[in-house]
Amino acid sequence: MKRKLVIAISGPPGAGSTTLARALAERLGLKFFSPGFIQKGLVSGKNESEAAIRAWETRKGSSKHFHQGLDQEQRELARKGGIVICGKLSVHFLKDLADLTVWLKVPLRVRAKRTAKRDGISLKKAEESIRKRQEIERKRWKEIYGFDYFDQEREADLVLKGELTVREEVERVLKELEKKLTRAGNLP
């Protein structure tokens, strides 16, 4: 039976992990999953940034049990294969299941520009929102899991720095995936 690919993508808010994950899933004919969509779905907000912050302010959205459930769900989906998963903690939790893990290390200014455009807010508001969100995430996940999720950069197979177009990032990921699978003798 042909092995089904699993790619895990993580990065800070506004880095483009969802955009890259969706583009890869479409290019490879794989499923797409984002644990963050479930968390943001707990609340309504004017935009994605606001929803993410508001979700953390709810009892459920900030609970250890809720986040561990999301972690388990992404691991179960990864075991089935044939999927690209983008989540803030996906590199860490899927490193033993993914064929390739990618961390997006994108400068705050670039992330703020992307977020401002996506959410229809000012650059200043986008930067404030990103700073607030990542402060909350880093603090809560450190309390829940005992590590700073920005440390996933060291765990990832590939680190992208936001200098490429989405198409170029997809090509870079595919090239790295092919190299890794060839080295392991696991070409699907």
Widest CA span of the chain, in angstroms? 51
DSSP letters, 103-135, are EE---HHHHHHHHHHHHT--HHHHHHHHHHHHH
pLDDT at position 24 is 97
Q: pLDDT at position 187, please?
A: 61
CA 165 to chain centre: 17
pLDDT at res. 37:
79
Q: What is the pLDDT of residue 29?
A: 95
What is the percent of the chain with per-residue pLDDT over 90, rounded to a whole number?
Answer: 79
Residue 10 has pLDDT above 60, yes or no: yes
Percent of the chain with pLDDT over 70: 96
What is the number of alpha carbons within 13 Å of residue 118 lying toward its C-beta?
Answer: 20
The pLDDT assigned to 104 comes to 98
Other CB atoms closer than 10 Å to residue 85's CB: what's the count?
30
Which has more confidence, 42 or 17? Answer: 17
Taken in order of first residue, the domains within the chain and their CATH numbers are 6-170 (3.40.50.300)
43 falls in which pLDDT band (50, 70, 90)? confident
pLDDT of residue 1: 34
- Identify the band that residue 12 occupies on the pLDDT scale cut at 50, 70 and 90: very high
Average of pLDDT values for 126-146? 95
The amino acid sitting at 5 is L
Q: What is the pLDDT of residues 50-96, one digit of tens each?
A: 888 888 888 998 899 999 999 999 999 999 999 999 999 999 999 99
**Block residue for tokens 């309504």:** 44
- Give CA–CA dist 27/153, Å, rounded: 24
